Structure 1
Amino acid sequence: MNKKLLSLGLLFVSALTAMAQTTSVSSPDGKLQVSIDCKDGQALYTVSYDGKAMLTPSALGLKADIGDFSQGLKLKDSKQGSVDKTYTMTRTKTATSHFVANQLDVQFENADGLPLEVTFLVSNNDIAFRYTLKQAKRRDVRTAVIQGETTGFNFPETATSFICPQSKPMVGFAQTKPSYEEEYTPDAALNTPSAFGEGYTFPCLFHIGNDGWVQVSETGTNGKYVGCHLSDYEQGKGYTIAFPNPKEMKGMGGNGAAISLPGSTPWRTLTVASTLEPIVETTISYDVVEPLYEAKTDYRPGRYTWGWLIWQDNSTIYEDQVKMIDVAAQMGYEYCLVDALWDTQIGRDRVEELSKYAQSKGVRLLLWYNSNGTWNDAPQGPHDGMNSAIAREREMSWMEKIGVAGIKVDFFGSDKQPMMQLYEDILADANRHQLQVIFHGCTLPRGWERMYPNFVASEAFLASENVFFTEYHAKKEGFELTMHPFSRNAVAAADWGGVMMNHHLSRDNKSRHQRYTSDIFEMASAIVIQTSVNCVAIYPNNLEELPQFELDFLREIPTTWEESQFIDGYPTKYVVMARRTGDRWYVAGLNGTQEKKTLTLQLPMLAGKTVRYYTDKPQKKGEILPASELKTLKVNANGEAKVTIQPMGGIILAE
């Protein structure tokens, strides 16, 4: 072979090698594309939608005790496939989901010859990807500790963010943080430092200017991994996956993830679109996970009353809980939540009596528990009932015996692997005793409605109790509830904890600070914020004070949905959602601003129909809150309906 032919041959081999270091996968409709490139030992991916860059080159990789998989990588192989599945649920925004995606499995090898697989699933608006560490043929290694990820999310520099800061550990009430209860900052520059230097909690929403939107989160996390969040922004790298702060849980336990091999990380998810509709309607949190066990019973959705929200700790006494059970019965609600301190202020024997009384009224109890063993100083009891298998068996057997329907477990304050395992253990044990579970003071649920069939919802945001605590948060309620449909509630059920009908945040409904949202806003929030067991914070005085049409609506509030559609809105400003239960549609809107909004809504599902129209009258001088009214509204044949939402007000259109 002459030198010219040899040179051409080497060039051909080099070209093949270069080609082998790049691969890609597109959505079924071809609009969403992920490209993977291995350059100078670094694995990178980019994301485009409709030809526009949504994620610029971003790092892939992780570091483990068995090897470094963040550098010195070679792309060895890739394989294409597809996924097409349909499943049903009762706990989420839609009853039936059809997930169709293209799959790409990319095989990498690190500098030591150890394998790493990255799996991408790409549907028309969603991306899910995860890492799998496998056993190396030449090494008898069966376990690994993942010490961190280099996974990046590098957005175009013109993007802005709608994100919530991660708290420092061991701060806040009784050292119970982080608990995902910080404030969102809207439309912030990417390089804005996080409030506490700890990055940002999932989910994270980004506005890519005129090109669209990206939501970043994760799903499928259980006791086999840590709960992750995003780091602060770094120029040129963007945000990266961050592991829990080592100081969480008073420093107990490591902050890495111990896995057996082969073993996979949770899925990192991106919802990518030119509009907000796919962001709000996404089901990616559930599409890529599977149930981990069968439901022990047919868990019943519904509504619950909650005395603690307005009446606070002093209300956890037998007499007050009887009053709240009576309200639930009068309203046709399924449950009544008995909050903290019942073990000392009521006592177990009288809780048994209370449960019997509730059941005689067609109501079942939900009981509050402190999660704590040793990881924070939350004083409320009952303590040490959920933190070990022996304690859980004792408590849950007793609750099953006396007919309790579910538990609310509070004060977790960590995303370390032992805490993620505790969530899973509580859920699995509760299912064995036919108990539904709500978590508060807790992490974001990550696909849990599908993974754990007795999981209802989590708090994991600044919820209704803060409206009670301070006037500042009462004034921010509109801001918060017009943020969550685009972020927190878009990826998981959210226990906001109260459709609040008191005009003042006090037992006498006259003292302390006022509520700043209208009655119709509160009623509409029951439709906008999705959870299958919803709190309606209605009290005995409300039964006498509220207009009959408001009480009638509060009695009919549905909590399970066959279908949900985003109609209109902008994060922290306003939102309009449509949800269908059976063959009936409810359209609900919230205005989070001090300016009235007149909108022409596109409602093809109601075209030509005359519907009930709940709305606020313009607020008169001297009124604390505007008066509400019930009218009828004819939606025209084209499905258009013109509505006005008053400042901090709401609307409901109902068949």
Structure 2
Amino acid sequence: MKLIASFLLAVPALAHALSSPDGQLQVDVSVNDQQQLVYTVQRAGQPVLLASRLGLVLEQGDYANGLKLASTSPVKIHREHYTLAAGKRSQIDYVANEQSFEVANAAGQHLLLTVRASNDGLALRYSVPGAGRKQFKEELTSFAFAPEARAWLQPMAEAKSGYKRVNPSYEEHYQMDIAVGTPSPSPAGWVFPALFRSGANWVALTEAGMDGRFHASRLRPDSAGGVYRFGLPDPREVFTGGGLLADVDGPLTTPWRVLAIGPLKTVMESTLGTDLAAPAVPFDKAKLKPGQASWSWALLKDEATVFDVQKRFIDYAADMHWNYTLVDAEWDRQIGDAKMKELASYGKTKGIGLLAWYNSAGDWNDTPQTPRSKLLTRADRQREFARVKAMGVAGLKVDFFGGDGASMQAYYVDLLKESAAAGLLMNFHGATLPRGWSRTYPHLMTMEAVRGLEFTTFTQDDQDAVVTHAAMLPFTRNLFDPMDFTPMVFGDIPNIKRATRNGFELAESVLFLSGIQHFAETPEGMATVPPYVKGLLRELPRHWDEVRFLDGEPGKFVVLARRAGKQWFVAGLNAGDTPRDVTLDLAWLGAREGQLITDGEGPREFSQGKLAAPAGKLTLAPHGGFVARFR
């Protein structure tokens, strides 16, 4: 603590200390003795970030050094109310105190820093006013943690590595509870969200407010001394012939740099990742239907993308009271337009919408799966959207994107804007992190950007690692954005020995948040479960209204409660190799008693019972889990 105190005392007189509405969070912004813009963050009087850099460098101006404070705006209250079609809350009120700091460099050029402090964290972004071209070169924003802080981070895969040169796709395993300053094993750095524990507080770092004009960022691989800095995408992460970094005519505004801060419960219940995204574009509400989907590819692969199997999966979805079936890669060659139209028509009679897979790729990877290279231009997209709508398809799953460069971000946004106009739901795979897009584009039901269940069907090593991986995801990847992990298998996985118990798999159906939850289990596997399990899965809500974090530790175990209407679903899983006793504070449920489904004696068995409020006690089996439903 002496080191922290001396570090803070070294910061010169403050430009201003901005506090959150509840007064717990304080952000201090100043120009230091080296004429650099810096900030510190405290919560409840305890340091969270030590003195950390701020600033930008453009080809047309240096806002990193030689700065002086030109003006400071009055503090104002920022309020927004918005709804999410698919998110951890359906109705959200965002309240923050906002202040802007204008600095001038030695050439008399001005940079505006806007800071918002809310009860669950802070956000900041830069604006460079004026006419003329502005080419991004470097960002100085850093996050300096005390030496004793810990980190939970996912390495960023190097561009053009992996299957058919598809990386980066945000599909690596997390390094858990590591010392801050540990270098990334990848030269590409670390992905967002990045999770840290700083004293009594937790910090989740991400970015939001991506409008297609700016590149997506990551943390640099080197964080010597516990100082994490913004990194840039690889020069190869671009749309063919497109640009890498932000390059605009007129004013330049960066995305928001977002830090959820507080006790773990505060961070886990935070909505800052969508609070800082742009408001929703128009979309036909009659077509905006979250829910669940059957999906053959997870366990049956390409050979199952044929008419008879897909028709059987439509019947399966109807039997489970789900509302979609996803027809994956090679449908154009193995089924064809006429039979897809027949499938869509058949699904409509059953109340099931059809979703169709597309390959996004141009020449940025070597993936052979089709339909391929059909969405590259506006004319291409108009033609394909008209084609699938004529078949009766409700939405698309678009796969194999090319990274985080500004031109690739623009490609995502073009797809989102034009599919919204066409009334088609969207799902991106082999993709970047959503960064709040599900608010701006409510028809974006889900995105992958995760080492999902499919990897556990490829190798036993991935299967064995999935228990801790799944216990990590609610704290990081799925913290703010919908995640298409494609969970839940109760039966066999070909050539793989499952590492999870059935209760663990069932818990994922509630713990993992996705606008359309694509379940991996087949009709044959589902036929092995008791009627009470099928009954629960038939009645799962199609969207959630509220979330509560009840207990957990990243990578070890997690228990969440989700509300839909007047019903609460409490779910948890245990990644440990030994049983875990948990006692849950359920006083907010009153004296209600919940229907409990958990593991039976064997790994493929279930048992049922009751979980009573206000003090719920249960033992989670090794690699096991549970779901409790309170009506």
Tell me if TM exceeds 0.5: yes
1:615 corresponding residue in structure 2: 598
Deviation sequence 1:397-416 (CA, Å, 0-9, x none): 12222221111100013100
Note if 1:294 corresponds to 2:282. yes
Q: Give the letter for the 1:317 counterpart.
A: V
Note if 1:557 corresponds to 2:540. yes
Alpha-carbon offset, residue 357 of structure 1: 1.5
Structure 2: 5+ residue stretches without partners:
1-11
Task: Provide the aligned C-alpha RMSD in A.
Answer: 1.5
- Answer yes or no: is the 8 Å Cα contact 1:297–1:434 preserved in 2: no
1:430-579 correspondence runs (5 A)? 430-502=419-491, 504-506=492-494, 512-579=495-562
1:278 corresponding residue in structure 2: 266
- Answer yes or no: is the 8 Å Cα contact 1:616–1:649 preserved in 2: yes
What is the alpha-carbon distance in structure 1 between the residues aligned to residue 35 and residue 516 of structure 2? 49
* Aligned match for 1:35, one of 28, 51, 75: 28
What is the alpha-carbon distance in structure 2 between the residues aligned to residue 293 and residue 611 of structure 1? 39
Alpha-carbon offset, residue 422 of structure 1: 0.7
What is the alpha-carbon distance in structure 2 between the residues aligned to residue 341 and residue 165 of structure 1? 31
- Answer yes or no: is the 8 Å Cα contact 1:107–1:117 preserved in 2: yes
What is the alpha-carbon distance in structure 2 between the residues aligned to residue 185 and residue 172 of structure 1? 19
Q: What SS class does the counterpart of residue 277 from structure 2 fall into?
A: coil
* Aligned match for 1:62, one of 40, 56, 62: 56
Note if 1:586 corresponds to 2:569. yes
Alpha-carbon offset, residue 543 of structure 1: 4.2
Q: Give the letter for the 1:654 counterpart.
A: R
1:72 corresponding residue in structure 2: 66
Deviation sequence 1:271-299 (CA, Å, 0-9, x none): 111x2111111111121233252113431
Alpha-carbon offset, residue 119 of structure 1: 0.2
Alpha-carbon offset, residue 197 of structure 1: 1.7
- Shift of the 618–540 alpha-carbon distance from structure 1 to 2, 3 Å rule, reads closer
* Aligned match for 2:168, one of 175, 178, 194: 178
Alpha-carbon offset, residue 90 of structure 1: 2.1
Note if 1:22 corresponds to 2:15. yes
- Shift of the 583–237 alpha-carbon distance from structure 1 to 2, 3 Å rule, reads closer
2:612 corresponding residue in structure 1: 634
Report sequence identity in percent: 35
What is the alpha-carbon distance in structure 1 between the residues aligned to residue 470 and residue 224 of structure 2? 32
Alpha-carbon offset, residue 499 of structure 1: 1.9
What is the alpha-carbon distance in structure 2 between the residues aligned to residue 336 and residue 385 of structure 1? 22
What is the alpha-carbon distance in structure 2 between the residues aligned to residue 548 and residue 464 of structure 1? 25
- Answer yes or no: is the 8 Å Cα contact 2:156–2:188 preserved in 1: yes
Deviation sequence 1:584-605 (CA, Å, 0-9, x none): 0000001111111111100123
Q: TM-score scaled by structure 2?
A: 0.95
What is the alpha-carbon distance in structure 2 between the residues aligned to residue 398 and residue 427 of structure 1? 17
Alpha-carbon offset, residue 170 of structure 1: 0.6
Deviation sequence 1:322-363 (CA, Å, 0-9, x none): 111111111111000000011111112211111112112211
- Answer yes or no: is the 8 Å Cα contact 2:239–2:402 preserved in 1: no
Alpha-carbon offset, residue 251 of structure 1: 8.3
Q: Give the letter for the 2:568 counterpart.
A: W
2:375 corresponding residue in structure 1: 386
What is the alpha-carbon distance in structure 2 between the residues aligned to residue 364 and residue 291 of structure 1? 27
Q: What SS class does the counterpart of residue 303 from structure 1 fall into?
A: strand
- Shift of the 388–24 alpha-carbon distance from structure 1 to 2, 3 Å rule, reads same
Alpha-carbon offset, residue 238 of structure 1: 0.7
What is the alpha-carbon distance in structure 2 between the residues aligned to residue 234 and residue 495 of structure 1? 30
Q: What SS class does the counterpart of residue 193 from structure 2 fall into?
A: strand
Q: What SS class does the counterpart of residue 393 from structure 1 fall into?
A: helix
What is the alpha-carbon distance in structure 2 between the residues aligned to residue 362 and residue 333 of structure 1? 9
1:133 corresponding residue in structure 2: 128
Q: Give the letter for the 1:544 counterpart.
A: A
- Answer yes or no: is the 8 Å Cα contact 1:148–1:256 preserved in 2: no
What is the alpha-carbon distance in structure 1 between the residues aligned to residue 223 and residue 320 of structure 2? 52
- Answer yes or no: is the 8 Å Cα contact 1:223–1:417 preserved in 2: yes
My pick for the range that moved more, 445-454 or 229-238, is: 229-238
Q: TM-score scaled by structure 1?
A: 0.92
Alpha-carbon offset, residue 564 of structure 1: 0.5
- Answer yes or no: is the 8 Å Cα contact 1:618–1:646 preserved in 2: no
Q: Give the letter for the 1:75 counterpart.
A: L
2:583 corresponding residue in structure 1: 600
Q: Give the letter for the 1:285 counterpart.
A: G
- Answer yes or no: is the 8 Å Cα contact 2:244–2:407 preserved in 1: no
- Answer yes or no: is the 8 Å Cα contact 1:607–1:640 preserved in 2: no
Alpha-carbon offset, residue 618 of structure 1: 4.0
- Shift of the 632–219 alpha-carbon distance from structure 1 to 2, 3 Å rule, reads same
My pick for the range that moved more, 83-92 or 461-470, is: 83-92
Alpha-carbon offset, residue 231 of structure 1: 0.7
Q: Give the letter for the 2:623 counterpart.
A: M
Q: What SS class does the counterpart of residue 469 from structure 2 fall into?
A: helix
